[in-house]
A and B are shown apart, each in its own frame.
Chain A
């Protein structure tokens, strides 16, 4: 299968939106997102059929020269890890387009930016050239700024600026890291090919300097402590679909980059700095969870809990064991689906009640049974109840982390586990207050339950969560060749030393 289709389709959708009128642009965006999901599913089937070939486990590779003199190529390819990210993106994009059906202000531009953002994410996940990857990473930044700034609420301009500048800061660090890798080979520039770097290795002294830049750079995207501050503001000011994209897709760009670029290409440095990554992620996990407890605004709650959940992704990567890394990937998918679902349902509640304060909501399950149930499902997934994807992911990360037998790592694992209790507290409290119990205000009597588009979005996301939760072996099978390849790279170094 030609992977260019995955970028071409959103690009064509975006172009079609430009020429269409406002009403038609919604339909175009929806059909584009649907076809993209079908395409991604097809890609999955084809991937399963093509027994992972190629020495690095990448299939459907295509490599065309872009700037030959600079060793920049248009090099695409997928493995299980990127494929699971693509599926996540496709699902979240479809759900995001569905929930924004009622947008009325500057409709064309809104859907154009949503689709452009998704094109950036697809491109990022399928590129095997670092320059191309960087191109798509930055492509996904500015649409977020405009989405928040134009269609957002609250202190939207502050949040939009903060997000754009912090993410740009992250990409500036990544840029330096990429240039460092390019010049790491001494005489001739080594180029930007991911696979070449992986086979040839990067000189040790370069790794020590440039790994922190790359890891922190990508880490900013995935809310590494202390660069997580854009997350709460950005998420809470963004319109519903943009929050879903931000938490569901955008934060995954960072996690994927940390895994695929920083740790995979610089295994020595990853081992060397492993303890720092683990400490920062444990801080993020605990701090995020505790901060969530203090929030009263539902969007802020979900944003801070995202910081905590994305901490698990970094923890899994930092631990550098096979199950932990696989857990990190599953956690990315799981968190993407779960948090998108959460933001979608918060959007539904806000649309009907015009408040996001937990205290002002109550008993909504009685008047909106569908939305209330979805809220509960999202909550249960977030606190890691077995049967939902959150449990699988966190379990894998914990088991993998426990494999690191050093006392300090064990201690870190225990601390991270403790966050589950905190998560349970804030999730159950919010669920109890907002949807259970008697109806808090009489004016809530007349509100309507979720409309068809919102129901469809929620169902798509819940389906994803349940498939992972009930049949975790499917996704584990999907990602394990990728994680094995990753571990081979890590272990290759361990043998050398």
Chain B
């Protein structure tokens, strides 16, 4: 019993919070939504803190559910990201009638993600993936009055259904080829036969959809644009993060034998993703679409890191996701504040933004520089370590291509900076923000500025990754 309590601690706390929220909702009075945000944030903070203590490794239910130190770290990172998002959305959800339901959906998604990370069985994996996707569609549609929001939800649910279908087909092929759902048995039976390669490609496609890797990225920009900012940041940070973690876990453990196959696959998709993501980001006018394509491009660097096939590959990916959470949430935090205050979401609306709101403008600038990989921000270290890991394979054309693409990406990040600092405007945006949102922005900027100089973090993740094998 204590085993279950301790090993599934992350999942169980989430379930407790969900139940509490539901009870809260039932007791709600007829008129007037009260402000649930302080309560929700305290619970999420508690959830995050609880995740840091009393952790053990082990397995449950005949090895269907596994927990080890690196998974605990991954879950903690995700918990942290969710806490930040909830703090940033406090202005938007503060008086929203359906705030508790929003968090019920959000935490169900997170629960699905945690199970996804811990699963060691293809069926369980599939169920967890569905649990992490379907509530997301409802969240995308949270601005019920907006048609774009409904469109976004529709696009997300349809493309998710398609990708789940492909994934499921891949899983069934694996079952056909190996006769088992268990990861360890599949790993020992993996022999790169044609059927298995086919199955692997299908499973990889499922991942690619969720990660919005080109050519499976088409849903991303529309969904990001239509969804409320909080959901967009959740999609771009948490949802991406968990898929990167899962991809690492799966590729490095289950499909270790098939590395020569997935290496090619990853290199090809990474090159495509980088080129398309960067080139399309240049043309975007809406800042949410812009960040969508930028996040597509970011994934391609993570893929390069994963392609390194060493403990450094896994480490640098996790390290990068941590930094990516800080940087992207820093950017989305500012976008959320501006969008809530003025409803403006175009890059041109940010003209002259720095004159009236220097602090927010600098926060957005630092976050964008971190995404572009400019020192002294943490993004510099994250990106460099990913490339360093990828360079271990000595595929120099790939590395040159990737570093040249950093110039392209710098160009479009600078576009936003230029808009804010160098352009003039008559219409000034008046923003006001809650202290929770400001606090989360400070935490993000602090993380961006400090993470790179703290040597312990990378080494800690590396030691966890090395203990895996």
Q: Are A149 and B422 also in contact (CB < 8 A) when A68-B455, A138-B375, A138-B380 are?
A: yes
Neighbouring B residues of A138 by C-beta, 8 Å? 374-375, 380
- Which of A140-148, A402-410, A411-419 participates in binding chain B? A140-148
Stretch at the interface among A165-173, A248-256, A455-463: A165-173
Instruction: Please determine whether B376 and A139 come into contact, CB atoms closer than 8 angstroms.
Output: yes
Residues of B within 8 A of A142 (CB): 369, 374
Q: Report B451 CB to chain A, min CB distance, Å.
A: 12
Minimum distance in angstroms from B355 CB to a CB of chain A: 9
Q: Are B375 and A135 in contact (CB under 8 A)?
A: yes
Q: How far apart sit A161 and B418, CA to CA, in the bound complex (Å)?
A: 9
Chain A residues in 8 Å Cβ range of B399:
176, 179
B458: A residues at CB distance < 8 A: 67, 69-70
Q: Which residue of B lies closest to A152 (CB)?
A: B422
**Contact partners of A161 in chain B: CB under 8 A:** 411, 414, 418
A432-443 vs B, CB cutoff 8 Å, 1 = contact: the mask equals 000000000000
**Residues 408-425 (chain B) with a chain A CB within 8 angstroms:** 410-411, 414, 417-418, 421-422
Select which of A66, A157, A175, A189 is within 8 A of B387 by beta carbon.
A175
Query: Which range holds the interface residue count of chain A?
Result: 35 or more
Are A165 and B407 touching (Cβ within 8 A)?
yes
Are A164 and B388 interface neighbours, CB within 8 A? no
Residue of A nearest to B463 (CB): A69
Beta-carbon nearest neighbor of B459 in chain A: A69
Tell me which residues across on chain A come within 8 A of B406, comparing CB atoms: 168, 172
* Of the residues B380, B385, B411, contact of A135 by C-beta under 8 Å: B380
B145 at the interface (CB under 8 A from A): no
* Chain B residues in 8 Å Cβ range of A67: 455, 458-459
Say whether A179 contacts B407, CB under 8 Å. no
A146 to B411, CA, bound (A): 13
- Asked whether any CB of chain A lies closer than 8 Å to the CB of B435, the reply is no
State how many angstroms separate the Cβ of B65 from the closest Cβ of chain A.
31
- Is A172 within 8 A of B388, CB to CB? no
Q: How far apart are B317's CB and chain A's nearest CB, in angstroms? A: 15
- For A189, the chain B residues whose CB sits under 8 A away are 392
Q: Is B384 an interface residue (CB 8 A)?
A: yes
Any chain A CB within 8 A of the CB of B394?
Answer: yes
Is the CB of B400 closer than 8 A to any CB of chain A? yes
Q: Closest CB of chain A to B309's CB: distance in Å?
A: 14
Cα distance A168–B410 in the bound complex, in angstroms: 8
Given contacts A182-B388, A183-B392, contact A157 B407 (CB under 8 A): no
Q: How many residues of B contact A (CB 8 A)?
A: 31
Give the residues in chain B near A180, CB-CB below 8 Å.
391, 396
Measured between beta carbons, the chain A residues less than 8 angstroms from B348 are none
> Are A168 and B407 also in contact (CB < 8 A) when A138-B380, A139-B375 are?
yes
What's the Cα separation between A169 and B422 when bound, in Å? 23
A161 to B388, CA, bound (A): 27
B457's nearest neighbour on chain A, judged by CB, is A67
Q: Chain A contacts of B403 at CB under 8 A?
A: 172-173, 175-176
Q: Is the CB of A183 within 8 A of B394?
A: yes
What does the 1/0 interface line of B429-469 toward A look like (CB < 8 Å)?
00000000000000000000000000100110010000000
C-beta contact mask, A60-74 vs B, less than 8 Å → 1, else 0?
000001111110000
Contacts of B384 in A (CB 8 A): 131, 175
For A146, A169, A172, the residue with the greatest tally of chain B CB atoms inside 10 Å of its CB is A172
Q: Does A209 contact B (CB under 8 A)?
A: yes
Q: Is the CB of A176 within 8 A of B400?
A: yes
Nearest CB of A to B119, in Å: 29
Q: Are B374 and A179 in contact (CB under 8 A)?
A: no
Chain A residues with CB under 8 A of B375: 135-136, 138-139
A165 & B374 in contact (Cβ 8 Å cutoff)? no
Q: A residues 183-237 with Cβ under 8 Å of B?
A: 183, 189, 209
CB-CB under 8 A from A157, the residues of chain B are: 418, 422
Among A145, A183, A209, which residue has its beta carbon within 8 angstroms of that of B391?
A183
Known: A161-B414, A179-B388. A169 touches B421 (CB 8 A): no
Interface centre among B380, B392, B396, B403 (most CB of A within 10 A): B403
List B contacts of A150 (CB < 8 A): 421-422
CB atoms of B388 and A70 under 8 A apart: yes
A2 CB, min distance to chain B CBs, angstroms: 18
B39 to chain A, nearest CB (A): 36
Residue of A nearest to B409 (CB): A168
Contacts of A146 in B (CB 8 A): 417, 421
Question: Are B396's CB and A141's CB within 8 A?
Answer: no
Residues from chain B with a CB closer than 8 A to the CB of A136 are 375
Taken together as a complex, chains A and B put the C-alpha atoms of A209 and B404 apart, in Å, by 17
CB-nearest residue of chain B relative to A174? B403
Q: How far is the CB of B468 from chain A (nearest CB, A)?
A: 15
A170 nearest CB neighbor, chain B only: B407
List residues of B (325-380) whose CB comes within 8 Å of A's CBs.
369, 374-376, 380
Establish whether residues B410 and A164, one from each chain, have CB atoms under 8 Å apart when the complex forms.
yes
Given contacts A141-B374, A142-B369, A175-B387, contact A149 B392 (CB under 8 A): no
Which A residues are in CB contact (< 8 Å) with B312?
A: 69-70
Instruction: List the A residue with the shortest CB-CB distance to B399.
Output: A176
Q: In the assembly, what is the distance between CA of A142 and CA of B369, in Å? A: 9
Which B residue's beta carbon lies closest to that of A169? B407
Specify which chain A residues have a CB less than 8 angstroms from the CB of B414 in the assembled complex.
Answer: 145, 161, 164
Query: Could you say which of B404, B455, B459 contacts A172, with CB atoms under 8 Å apart?
Result: B404
Query: Once the chains are docked, how many angstroms separate the CA of A27 from the CA of B198?
Result: 68
User: Chain B residues near A131 (CB, 8 Å)?
Assistant: 384
The 9 closest A-B pairs by CB, nearest first: A172-B403, A179-B391, A139-B375, A149-B422, A135-B375, A168-B407, A138-B375, A169-B407, A175-B403
Q: A136-B375, A142-B369, A180-B391 are in contact. List 4 more A-B contacts (CB 8 A).
A: A149-B418, A156-B422, A165-B411, A180-B396
5 examples of A-B residue contacts, CB within 8 angstroms: A65-B455, A66-B455, A149-B422, A172-B406, A176-B400
